[in-house]
Amino acid sequence: MGVREFKATTSTRRGTKLEDRSMLEKSGGPKSLSVSKNQKSGRNNQGRITVRHRGGGFKRRVRKIDFKREKFGIEAKVLGLYFDPNRSAHLALLQYADGEKRYIIAPRGIKAGDKVISGEKVDILPGNAMKIKNIPSGTIVHCVENRVGMGATFGRSAGQTIVVQGIDPTGKYVQIKLPSGEIRLVPAEGIATIGQVGNEERVNVKLGKAGRRRNLGWRPVVRGMAMHAVEHPHGGGEGKGVIGRAKDIWAHRIGTRTRKNKRTEKMIIKRRRSPQRPFAKK
């Protein structure tokens, strides 16, 4: 999939680059494989905003995607590629030999008419899914499980690639390298899909105007300096005040790392960033 460029007939179209969806099916796909999505606008069950700058946008339907790939040994045919408004990757509609239809994340290079299969150990072909312990080292995969039977956790967005680096000496885990550069362990019995996620050129998309951003459900972002002092640490003051150390709306320093998960700490072999150094005292 590529991107579409436009003639510079207006200032908006001059820098606009949108996805080329000419290879996708025109229909919305089977209605039975999607459900209606209620508008939350970033609010929780108490009505409080927990995710800022969300609201409005086009109505969407949530696609039911097979992240587990547990139909072992049953071959499936790709009926077509479909657009999903809820994610950056495209979807491939599979029809299994027993007649059942399911969506999967579309790998790069897959097309209508191809055959895919999942199992304990299958051919190393794009779209095939197998236990990660049986995948050779150096193979590019996506949709990797972090817990056995839970479904794919890593490598689900457009263009993502995960490299299998080999099995752990204990035999219980496999070492993988994520796109961020992080190296971690995942269960050897987990399922992974061969190949790179498709729609890899989505990083080149430029919406071109604020209206398209609003249609995607994003609302405007206001600068902290433009707010009152009670609303933001950067607010208040006469004229343009001095910020000093930049902070977010909750008065946390910008760039402060908040990850605290002792349960999975031992699974990380190499972090995507070097350990955070304490800030120098003045």
Task: List, for the chain, all residue ranges whose pLDDT scores fall below the cut of 50.
Answer: 279-282
Q: Element (H or E) spanning 214, and its range?
A: helix 210-215
Residue 273, pLDDT score? 81
Amino acid letter, 235: G
Q: How many CB atoms lie within 10 A of CB 194?
A: 22
State the chain's mean pLDDT as an integer.
92
Indicate the SS3 state at residue 183: strand
CA-to-CA distance for 202 and 206, rounded, in angstroms? 9
DSSP conformation class of 271 = -
The pTM of this model reads 0.88
Contacts of 214 (CB under 8 A, 6+ apart): 56, 57
Residue 199, pLDDT score? 93
Write the pLDDT tens digit of every residue in 191-225.
999 999 999 999 999 999 999 999 999 999 999 99
Which residue is listed with tokens 């191809």?
114
Residue 255, pLDDT score? 83
Kind of pairing between the strands at 129-131 and 118-119: parallel
Q: Which domains does the chain have, with CATH numbers?
A: 3-202 (2.40.50.140)
Contacts of 232 (CB under 8 A, 6+ apart): 224, 225, 249
Residue 116, pLDDT score? 96
Residue 122, pLDDT score? 92
Q: How many CB atoms lie within 10 A of CB 252?
A: 11
Write the pLDDT tens digit of every residue in 124-169.
999 999 999 999 999 999 999 999 999 999 999 999 999 999 998 8
